[in-house]
Structure 1
Amino acid sequence: MKFQFNKKYLITALTLFLIELTIAFTLHSGFIRHTFGDYLVVILLYAILRGCTNLGVWTSSLAVLIFAYTVECLQLTPFLTYFNLERSFTAKLIFGSTFEFNDLIAYTLGVITILILETKVLKLETKENAKLWKP
């Protein structure tokens, strides 16, 4: 793995981060807050990883999914207590505080969306652009 910056992914990450902040501070319950936010967060993490490294689509997707699953499974333990963060709003916001199986589904759907976009949609765009520029 080598560090390299990709403006497209970093702009995507910044946009998703601002959306996530808006969701976190304006919505306190419901589908958008609890499920769609989890769906978007894996896409955000993927965009950060791809924006800062030269890792490929599949490696980055798998790394993000494993990370998301790990954080979710940690919620089965009192891990915030180990770090004296059980009362921290920010820690609870970032790491969550209760395990939800539906979150695992949201993470998986987010990664599937990434893979579809990266392998199908963006590849088609690239091929179509190449055809446009050929004499």
Structure 2
Amino acid sequence: MEIQLKFSLKYLLITLLIFLVEVLIATIWKDIFFVRAYLGDVIVVMLLYTFVKSFFRVNNEKLILGILIFSFLVEFAQYFNIAEKLGFRAGSLMYIIIGNSFSWIDNLCYAVGCLILYLFVRIMKKEVSTSNS
């Protein structure tokens, strides 16, 4: 995978917006079951995507696949209580970021988020090529 360093203010602003939504989900919207249990996991892969795109020019499809694999690895690490094994206290920021409970549904949410990202990238690529014709 060819990676080039390139700053993108557009992607950084989108990253900050998605991060704000994630904070709202974790704090204010935490009692809305569907939002807390599923939507946060769907959009966290989008947060990772836009964060990487803020600083690097990289193949979109490979990046999405890499994020999906990374998300699965983090989720499976939760099965083995990795946050505790790394010495993070319950309630600490890193403990919350890494997570503490494995769920197959979370993996499904990550896959849905990556699929949405992939479809969006494909549609945008098609629109750009059509407008350039």
User: Common fold, TM-score beyond 0.5?
Assistant: yes
RMSD: 1.6
Q: Which moved more, 1:26-35 or 1:104-113?
A: 26-35
Q: 1:44 is matched by which residue type in structure 2?
A: L
Q: Which residue of 2 aligns with 1:103?
A: 106
- 1:80: how far off? 1.4
In structure 1, the residue corresponding to 2:79 is in which secondary structure?
Answer: coil
- 1:77: how far off? 0.5
Q: Which residue of 2 aligns with 1:69?
A: 72
Bigger Rg, which one: 1
Return the alpha-carbon distance in structure 2 between the equivalents of residues 31 and 95 of structure 1: 21
Percent identity (aligned):
26
Deviations 1:57-98 (CA, angstroms, capped at 9, x unpaired): 111101111111111000101211222214233223211111
Q: 2:85 is matched by which residue type in structure 1?
A: Y
> Which residues of 2 match residues 26-105 of structure 1 at below 5 A?
26-29=28-31, 30-105=33-108
Alpha carbons 2:81, 2:101 under 8 Å: kept: no
The structure in which a higher percent of residues are strand is 2
Q: How many matched pairs? A: 130
Task: Name structure 2 gaps, 5 residues minimum.
Answer: none
Task: Name structure 1 gaps, 5 residues minimum.
Answer: none
